[in-house]
Structure 1
Amino acid sequence: MKEGNNKDYQVSGGLGLISSRLLVEGPIQKDKSSFMISGRRTYADLFAKLSSDMKDVKLYFYDLNAKANWAINSKNKLYFSGYFGKDVFSVSSLFGSDWGNATATLRWNSLLSSKLFSNTSFIYSNYDFNVGFKTDASEMNFNSHIKDLNLKQDFTWYANARNTLRIGFNVIQHTVTPTKAEGTDIVNNKRSRKGLENAVYVSNSWKASDVINIDYGLRFSFYNVLGGNTYNIYKNNQLIDSIKLANGKFGKNYYNLEPRISASYSLNNTAAIKIGYARNTQNLHLMSNSTGGSPTDAWIGNSYNIKPEVADQFSIGFSKNLHNNAFELNTETYYKTMQHQIDYRDGADINTVPDIESELLFGKGRAYGIEILLRKKKGNLTGWVGYTLSKTERQINGINKGQWYNAKQDRTHDLSIVGIYTLSPRWTLSGTFIYTTGNAVTFPTGKYVLNNMVIYQYGTRNADRMPATHRLDISATYERPARKNWQSSWSFGLYNVYGRRNPFAITFKENKDNPQKIDAVQTSLFQWVPSITYNFKF
């Protein structure tokens, strides 16, 4: 986020049919400190009321940003920033969900010498997710959250003309609440769990020669499972032991070294090749239900059963400027191996089970692909074409007979085309087309009735696909003649020009005419959404 204007007060924003925004900035103490406050609110759900099957839908988000900075002296500055945002989606009183983030950051930037800089940051963040279902017979509500407290220290030392050294550490306390379930027939109050994530790192950017640049570094991370909870230990999904940790006590520890190196070689003034390797670890894990895009996904941290996920990625790329830098071409291919991957066992009870870890299996993963980006930077017509061809898979004993299968996030094709055309000094036209392969999911292949409840049987894990998502958006902007201390423009747009019904979720129900059959029902949110926005700045 940019800093506020420390000389003059300014207001900018936009008033539109589906969203509005406002930004206010100015000096607190002229030339020494400034502030900036901005907010947005969408109300696209008003258009949903025009559709008979979506008249009870609510779909909107809002967010607020605030930032202030203060130059203590020529060598020290303080920055404060805050963010709060929330998304809401509901269908009458039958289904509703909301999720949001709140963050606050205090940063101290210090010039210790002409070559040494310091950044000290204190960061608070909180993520909440809530979802509820209601029928005539029952009601269920699920909620989860992640709260982080983070201390981060970074030093940058410009040692000489060829070397820039970076060193630092950070400490994060995670408080993670997996999905709690409360309902007509069940109350499952999963307790929050805490973990301490620590890391120290050192890296160097080395200009080895006029044509070779090398970046290399090492990060040492260690994670401590913290007390205040009881941790179960499982073997083959069977409970074999329990450990109760008191508050303030340390439990299981995990240590990882994360080396990384990348190098670029300039072939000439317009072309370069690059190669790289990096190891990364992940200590918070997103558990996603693959049976139709359930909104009750859960975050969990490391424990006695769950180890940090480790990924090793190798990449090689090529870049070239074409036609006197009018075009820029970037290509990269990569291969990634992953350890300690997590997925649910077949038939897992993910929402109401007392301990979600009893439903987990562990294995390995791999991902590989190629990315191509062609950008046009000059002329009346600018824009880019980006395409990714990729594959992401998992291999976990107990799933698909130990064979490789599609990960939920597997996307074979991802295409984006953006064009911006300057028609005149006042008119600008733009268009965006996107295409993405649908999520890998597991659809039911049969069903049976148990205790008057319909139980679905599922086939091969993630062997099915949601329909592909694609759409075309167009817009036009007219810059009005500037007046003293006032600038304004009109923007006109149409979202989803050809009315594609992109899938939001797929649910299953019995066929009314043939109860032995299962019907898949796709939920789509919007077809065409026109927009008009008046933009202003003074």
Structure 2
Amino acid sequence: MKSKLLLIAVSLMALQATAQQKHTISGTIKSKAKGETLIGATVRVSGGGGTTTNEYGFYSITITDGKHKLEFTSMGLQTNSLEFTLRKDTTINISLEDESVSLGAVTVTGTSTKRSLAAPQMGLEKLTAKEMKNVPVLLGERDAIKVIQLLPGIKSAGDGNAGMYVRGGAADQNLILLDEAPVYNASHLLGFFSTFNSDAIKDIAVYKGGMPAQYGGRLSSVLDIKMNDGNNQDFGVSGGIGLISAKLNVEGPIQKDKSSFLVTGRRTYADVFLKLSNDSSINNNKLYFYDINAKLNYELGDKDKLYLSGYFGKDKLGVGDLFGLSWGNTTGTLRWNHIFSNKLFSNTSLIYSNYDYTVSINSGSVNADIYSKIRDYNLKQEFQWYPSSSHNIRFGFNSIYHTITPGQVTTSETSQINARSLEDRYSWENAVYATDSWKMSEALSMTYGLRVSSFSVLGKGDFFNIDQDGKILDTLHYKKGDFVKTYVNLEPRLAISYKLNATSSVKGSYVRNTQNLHLISNSTTSSPTDKWVASTNIIKPEISDQFSVGYYKDLFGGDYELTVETYYKSLQNQIDYRDGANVNSVSNAIESELLFGKGRAYGIEWLFKKRVGKFNGWVSYTLSKTERKIDGINNNEWYNARQDRTHDIAIVAIYQLSPKWTLSANWIYYTGDAVTYPSGKYNVDGQTVYYYTGRNAYRMPNYHRLDLGATLQLKKRKRWSSELAFSLYNAYGRENAYTITFEDSKDDPTKTVAKQTALFKFIPSISYNFKF
């Protein structure tokens, strides 16, 4: 009897174990029309559960065996459903069809990718090229950076200025990646355009808080941009012609279904119009930029894929033979994807990045060229492990060798300036990291991780000991390869989300970041010639601790979204210049011009968005404060950081008037930048000398602008489409201040006159875009 009972018990346990047995489904999701892998495509399982694809279109999900229905979705593509019985680990590769387009009906998908209520990630904004298409921009050139600056917490540095400010961070505190390669200056024409050609962009993710552990090296944000892979199904050509620029994109298969290429080029031709002038002082000037994006990818087999991508861009500005300024970026990325198993994915990357500029001066007795660069060689290895349906683990390492050339001055024989070269600076940056996204229950999810970073300052070169007044006390000499100083930092990451119900959730996060490359400038505007310096024995790594809390709500069936996030950021080892500093000095001891202290930034951000329908768009508002406290500045009291802005508002509206016409508008308002103006003046030997008191104690005038846009669909066939894009930048002609200068009144020299310079009133544009 006991034997029978034991046999029954064992049988029941075996049946239960079999019933609960789990298997893994994995694969790749692609676009059927182009063969490109899809980032962030969703896999849903009937009865609950699901996952999303990674940056290379790979997914893995572990579920119980038995009958299931899987649903594969991605924005702008048709949903694909599959029913089957799961009995073992299975590979399912899916290609999604484009949504059918009917000229008789208007179908508008959302203006941005729907954000997840359940995912712990905070401060994440995602955009695709389609979503950027209808937002009006300067001179009709679709620009990823300009569209991003319409989102809360992300602020434009202003007309004619490069960079952006994210949650109180400076322009250099944003990590900008193009296919994993750092881009050190993401601007063309002094900030009027970004370096990123929208025709080459596949996906953009902006992390302004709670950055995952795989990212590091900057305090404020990560802008992760992925280039298109190229069409491995069919050849295609697209392009556009505008008032000042033209672009062309060519893509197609090298071997159908296996490999593809993409080449995108863009150039402005404002210099062509300058040459039409009969005035030699105008037709000899230079004003243009060009850039090229290229990418190759090849499937080596079912489990291996190779990518090679690159970017090259250059700007040239010149006033005859008197002055010239050129700058540009070069990047290259070689990546190897390997699937070890249905639960383990690997990506290995070799990355090159170079940013340089040259200033040429040819005036009288001064004939000189000043050259500077920052160059990186980078190795990155990452693994993604899916041990169960509840965990998604990333781990890996990153190693970067930096070379910074602060300045090389070459001169002609007749020049009164002596040729000289500042010492190159070398450094080695390393990091290991691990992060786990853990779905604890249907309502509760957590992401936690740790990044351990090290930064080694290397010889050859001279390093200094400096007193509190900036005087050099001692010079230390190091040979090539010597370790001058090594900084090691622990950077913990934590994010947690709780779903209150089916339509709302709350989230919180904490992240520590460190930064060892710093952009030094004491001008009121950003410039391509601002100087990059690395941490030294005196310049310590900047450190940021950011705490964030958010509330998220879907309204009216998910057609509307409300997002509210608040943050507090504590900053250590912040850098500012001494009063009267010359950061462009031809001295190796840049530290003698700098002071160091702490900072804080805090604020609250609102985003209200309508995602679908003929009329869609968003309203964003940011209320914030950013301050610094550095001994030796502003009487050792807290003062406004240069990027401090109290209010920032953006309203974006897009209306599908008909199958052919799309109308759009955006309105921007923000508090004027914090600036240092003279508090008084005195006369010395007939010359007016201004004196200054509080640092950044004044404000530029408030900025506001309305932009209008319209797109006319001309022809749309299976093999050919074309459109006209119209835009009016600064529609009501607001003269926003670019600079304000002070001079003595001509009528009464005891009085001072402030003069405001505006770059432009309104700028109309038209461009023709085509695709076949």
TM-score, reference length from structure 2: 0.65
Question: Partner residue of 2:460?
Answer: 228
SS at match of 1:4: coil
Residue in 2 aligned with 1:157?
385
1:294/1:114 CA distance change after superposition, 3 Å: closer
Residues 516/304 of structure 1: CA separation in 2 closer, same or farther (3 Å cut): farther
Indicate whether 1:300 and 2:533 are aligned.
yes
1:531 corresponds to:
765
Letter matched to residue 328 of structure 1: E
Separation in 2 of the partners of 1:504 and 1:368? 26
Partner Cα distance (1:468, 1:437) in 2: 5
Alpha-carbon shift at residue 64 of structure 1 (Å): 1.1
Q: Aligned pair in 2 of structure 1 residues 275, 349: CA closer, same or farther (>3 Å)?
A: same
Name the residue aligned to 2:250: 24
Identity %: 55
For 2:450, the equivalent position in structure 1 comes to 218
Amino acid at match of 2:403: T
Cα distance in 1, alignment partners of residues 713 and 623 from structure 2: 39
CA positional deviation for 1:461: 0.8
Residue 604 of structure 2 is aligned to residue 370 of structure 1: yes
Task: Determine whether 1:281 maps to 2:514.
Answer: yes
Deviation at 1:191, TM superposition (A): 1.9
- Residue 14 of structure 1 aligns with an amino acid whose one-letter code is G
Q: Which moved more, 1:37-46 or 1:234-243?
A: 37-46
Residues 458 and 178 from structure 1, CA distance in 2 versus in 1: closer, same or farther, beyond 3 angstroms? farther
- CA distance in structure 2 between the partners assigned to 1:272 and 1:379 by the alignment: 25
Alignment of 1:425 with 2:659, yes or no, is yes
CA contact (8 A) 1:180 1:351 kept: no
Q: For residues 343 and 161 of structure 1, what CA distance do their matches in structure 2 show?
A: 48
Matched with 1:332 is 565
More helix by share: 2
Give the number of equivalent residue pairs. Answer: 537
1:343 Cα deviation from its structure 2 partner: 0.7
> Which residue pairs with 2:423 in the alignment?
191
* Residue 142 to residue 136, structure 1, CA distance change in 2 (3 Å): same
Answer yes or no: is the 8 Å Cα contact 1:341–1:362 preserved in 2. Answer: yes
Contact kept, 8 Å, 1:3 with 1:68, in 2: the verdict is yes
Distance 1:458 1:260 in 2: 42
- Tell me, in whole angstroms, the C-alpha distance in 2 between the residues paired with 1:80 and 1:276: 35
Secondary structure (helix, strand or coil) at the match of 1:481 reads strand
Aligned to 2:628: 394
Partner of 1:347: 580
Correspondence 1:382-531 to 2 at 5 A: 382-446=616-680, 456-483=690-717, 485-531=719-765
Name the SS of the counterpart of 2:300 in structure 1: strand
Report deviation, 1:11.
0.1
Q: What is the 5 A alignment of 1:12-91?
A: 12-43=238-269, 59-89=287-317
How far apart are 1:468 and its partner, in Å?
A: 3.1
Extract unaligned runs of 5+ from structure 2: 1-226
SS at match of 1:429: strand
Do the aligned partners of 1:20 and 1:42 also contact (CA within 8 Å) in 2?
yes
Contact 1:162 1:208 in 2 (8 A): yes
SS across alignment from 1:357:
helix
- Name the counterpart of 1:146: 374
Residues of 2 paired with 1:214 and 1:373: CA distance? 23
Question: What is the Cα deviation at residue 96 of structure 1?
Answer: 4.9
SS for the counterpart of 1:324 is helix
Equivalent position of 1:2 in the other structure = 228
CA contact (8 A) 2:327 2:528 kept: no
Are 1:253 and 2:481 matched, yes or no?
Answer: no
Query: Separation in 1 of the partners of 2:524 and 2:762?
Result: 28
Once the two structures are TM-superposed, the CA of residue 2 in structure 1 deviates from its matched residue by: 1.5
User: What are the Cα deviations for residues 210-255 of structure 1, in whole angstroms up to 9, with x where unaligned?
Assistant: 0111000000000100111111121211212222111122111101
Supply the distance in 2 between the matched residues of 1:471 and 1:47 (Cα, whole angstroms): 28
8 A contact 1:111–1:118 mirrored in 2: yes
Of 82-91 and 264-273, more deviation after overlay is shown by 82-91
CA contact (8 A) 2:357 2:528 kept: no
Secondary structure of 2:599's counterpart equals strand
Code of the aligned partner of 2:693: G
- Deviation of 1:102 after TM superposition, in Å, equals 1.2
Cα offset for 1:449?
7.4
Which residue pairs with 1:244 in the alignment?
477
Shift of 1:464: 2.0
Alpha-carbon displacement from aligned partner over 1:279-338 (angstroms, at most 9, x marks no partner): 000010112214566764221101010110000000000111101111011110000001
User: Which of residues 121, 132, 135 in structure 1 aligns to 2:349?
Assistant: 121
User: Residue deviations 1:46-86, cap 9 Å, x none?
Assistant: 89999x9x978865432210011010111011101111223
* Corresponding position of 1:200: 432
Q: 1:128, 1:3 → 2: CA distance?
A: 27
**Aligned partner of residue 310 in structure 1, secondary structure:** strand
Secondary structure, counterpart of 2:635 in structure 1: helix
| 1:171/1:194 CA distance change after superposition, 3 Å | same
- Match of 1:410, SS state, is coil
RMSD: 2.9
Shift of 1:10: 0.3
Structure 1 residues 373-382 or 272-281, which shifts more?
Answer: 373-382
Q: Higher relative contact order by CA 8 Å / sep ≥ 6: 1 or 2?
A: 2
Q: One-letter code of the match for 1:148? A: D
Provide the residue aligned with 2:165 in structure 1: none
**Cα deviation code 1:169-195 (max 9, x no counterpart):** 001111123356778556663222011
Describe the SS at the equivalent of 1:358: helix
Residue identity matched to 2:295: K
Change (3 A) 1:338 1:120: same
Deviation at 1:486, TM superposition (A): 1.2
Task: Tell me the equivalent position of 2:16.
Answer: none
1:20·1:40 contact (CA, 8 Å) conserved in 2?
yes
Structure 1: gaps spanning 5 or more residues: none
Q: Residue 175 of structure 1 corresponds to which residue in structure 2? A: 403
More deviation, 450-459/159-168:
450-459
- Partner Cα distance (1:273, 1:389) in 2: 20
Distance 1:72 1:518, change over 3 A: farther
In 2 relative to 1, CA 188–368 (structure 1 residues): closer, same or farther, beyond 3 Å? farther
| Residue 351 of structure 2 corresponds to residue 105 of structure 1 | no
Aligned-pair CA distance for 1:470: 2.4
Query: Per-residue deviation at 1:514?
Result: 4.6
Equivalent residue, structure 1, for 2:496: 263
| 1:515 CA drift (Å) | 4.7
**In the TM superposition, what whole-angstrom CA distance separates every residue of 1:395-452 from its partner, at most 9, and x where no partner exists?**
0000011100111121222221111100011111111222233322212344567899
CA 1:194/1:453 → structure 2, altered by over 3 Å: closer, same or farther? Answer: farther
Residues 390 and 180 of structure 1, relative CA distance in 2, 3 Å threshold: farther
Does structure 2 conserve the Cα–Cα contact (< 8 Å) formed by 1:290 and 1:408?
no
Q: How far did residue 89 of structure 1 move? A: 4.5
| Secondary structure, aligned partner of 1:409 | coil
Q: State the secondary structure of the residue aligned to 2:737.
A: coil
Q: Indicate conservation of the 8 Å contact 1:234/1:358, yes or no.
A: yes
CA shift digits 1:97-130 (9 cap, x unpaired)? 4332111111111101110001111111111234
SS in 1 for 2:442: coil
Q: Distance in 2 between matches of 1:241 and 1:174?
A: 26
Q: CA deviation at 1:166?
A: 0.7
SS of corresponding position for 1:267: strand
Change (3 A) 1:503 1:40: farther
CA contact (8 A) 1:18 1:531 kept: no
